[in-house]
Amino acid sequence: MARIVECVPNFSEGRREEVIQALAETIRTTDGVRLLDVQADSSHNRCVLSFVGDLEAVRAAALAAAGRAVELIDMNRHRGEHPRLGAVDVIPLVPVAGLSMEECVAAAHALGREIWERLRVPVYFYAEAATRAERRRLPDIRKGEYEGLKGKLAEPAWAPDVGDPVAHPTAGVTVVGARRPLIAYNINLTTADVEVARRIARAVRESTGGLVNVQAMGVKAASGQAQVSMNLLDHTRTPVHRAFELVRVEAARHGADILESEIVGLIPLDAVADVARFYLRLRGFDRAQILEAKLME
Amino acid sequence: MARIVECVPNFSEGRREEVIQALAETIRTTDGVRLLDVQADSSHNRCVLSFVGDLEAVRAAALAAAGRAVELIDMNRHRGEHPRLGAVDVIPLVPVAGLSMEECVAAAHALGREIWERLRVPVYFYAEAATRAERRRLPDIRKGEYEGLKGKLAEPAWAPDVGDPVAHPTAGVTVVGARRPLIAYNINLTTADVEVARRIARAVRESTGGLVNVQAMGVKAASGQAQVSMNLLDHTRTPVHRAFELVRVEAARHGADILESEIVGLIPLDAVADVARFYLRLRGFDRAQILEAKLME
């Protein structure tokens, strides 16, 4: 079976199309990887590339794109709504098939060392690759942002995991890590009352007493419906159907129901198979029984 | 996107391991196809091979295996519980990805002509490849079995679609066709009363007033539960969840419920995705959003 990793680097450029295309081109021209998606957001002034391949090719492509970003992006001129620390803001590696989280963590550590050695950008490790508990979550690492790096790096508690405690003059620092596939999952309600969506979000998310591995907020969807917008951080432990059913139960309390739901971006095959396992009460269903999955083995 | 066909030939040999292995070997050694599964049943005295590949390679592999079966199997000595007409009893082609049913039908017709020209085995076409309505269903074509072929072939209504109206002296005739993927789907009830399973089967199957594209019978599962054993013949029109929900409703009438269900063998990815679409009320969910499916494109 192929050993496949997904890499989803976030760069601090969402406006200059030629820079975004140059970054994408470094991925397209690296042997052994496939660029799946490029998303740029001009208000965030940030772009997100998604690509896959075997571990070594993905590391090479990530390093090449990071090198290009350090050349082309000057953080001293960067403004945008999304919190960020550097030109190459964050590089997560995600195990997709045929390899363990431990192997992804080791690859993240090796990639971080290369980024320091070749590009002289200091690196923090996060998520599964974190070296300390307080560095697991991106929001904690990003506190102070690029503009606060000088003071932050001087604190012993925030010494970088790799490199000198001084930010790169134009590229700041980079955060590298390994994490499980994240599922972006939105549920639209039968009501337009956003307050109902906010209450449901508070009930279902980890931070306020709900499901572990679930982040949620209540927003207004483009269609006008109230929406519970979620990130499912570990579908292997907290599957999609559990979030769906809990939202349904909480919505009923407010006299609302689920109108429809939406997977934003990509979802792993196992997460889809788990939905079928749950609702069809399947016994002994193996993903190798899915014809297309068997073809990939 | 790759153009992939599945082929599931049934041969009249389920006991002599060396013959089954010889047939499997012809598939394994054909370039461009992959053998997925070999299942032999000694009471049926029959084996079923499953393999995939592009259309031309699959035709070549099917012809090679058919040639080997004609050499190694003598129908005059064959005894088994399962109805059959020949050594190469039936060869269905199933479109999996990137090609239409019409292309599979054309390939089935071409394969049938080759079987007659190279192996001198007359051929009936069935299912989507049938040339007449009364040849669509295998049970109709198999009536009379191998032993009745002489009389059957003499009837003008049962002249073969390709070849002379005289059975091959040791291999009989072969049935070739194209069909959609068939899903073998069993539902175990919370009762051990097989009569309840039989009543539910009558309620849900096409032939007695239920869902089109569904065959069903009530049996006793190995575990002791009453079981509704189904073939779903066209999941694109009659999806798995519809059969599940109808069995649930009919079971409730008898004070029973669904304990668990089971996919036997392979299921297409689209059928699994449809289950998620239904139960999660997904809007705009495309199979290319499944990471592994995107990797296959």
All residues at 6 or more sequence positions from B251 whose CB lies less than 8 Å from its CB, including other chains = B189, B190, B196, B200, B257, B258
Return the top range by mean pLDDT from A39-53, B39-53, B205-219: B205-219
Could you give all domains of chain B from N- to C-terminal order, each with its CATH number? 4-178 (3.30.990.10), 183-296 (3.30.70.670)
Residue A261 has its nearest CB partner, among B97, B281, B292, at B281
User: Which residues of chain A neighbour B293 with C-beta distances below 8 Å?
Assistant: 269, 292
Helix (H/G/I), strand (E/B), else coil: A92: strand
**Nearest to B177, CA basis, from B226, B110, B259, B243:** B110
Indicate yes or no: CB of B293 within 8 angstroms of CB of A292.
yes
Residues in chain A: 297
Helix (H/G/I), strand (E/B), else coil: B165: coil
Question: Which residue has 């951080």 as its token pair?
Answer: A233
Indicate yes or no: CB of A261 within 8 angstroms of CB of B280.
yes
Q: Which of A6, A232, A292, A297 to mutate to test the interface with B (most CBs of B within 10 A)?
A: A292
Indicate yes or no: CB of A291 within 8 angstroms of CB of B280.
no
**Nearest to B274, CA basis, from B147, B174, B143, B181:** B181
CA distance A119 to A122: 9
Q: What's the pTM value of the predicted model, to 2 decimals?
A: 0.77
Q: Which of B280, B282, B285, B296 to mutate to test the interface with A (most CBs of A within 10 A)?
A: B280
**Nearest to B212, CA basis, from B188, B183, B242:** B242
Going residue by residue through chain A (297 aa), what tens digit of pLDDT does each one get? 568 899 999 999 999 999 999 999 999 999 999 998 888 888 889 999 999 999 999 999 999 999 999 999 999 999 987 889 999 999 999 998 889 999 999 999 999 999 999 999 999 999 999 999 999 988 899 999 999 999 999 999 999 999 999 999 999 999 999 998 889 899 999 999 999 999 999 999 999 999 999 999 998 887 899 999 999 999 999 999 999 999 999 999 999 999 999 998 789 999 999 999 999 999 989 988 898 887 766
CA A229 to chain centre: 15
CA distance B26 to B47: 14
Active site residues of B: 82
Angle between helices B101-119 and B55-72 (to 10 degrees): 30
Helical H segments across A10-155, by residue range: 17-28, 55-72, 101-119, 138-142, 149-154
Indicate yes or no: CB of B291 within 8 angstroms of CB of A272.
no
Q: What is the pLDDT of residues B13-23, one digit of tens each?
A: 999 999 999 99
Q: How far away is chain A from the Cα of B174, in angstroms, using its nearest Cα?
A: 26
Question: Which residue has 């539960």 as its token pair?
Answer: B225
CA A248 to chain centre: 26
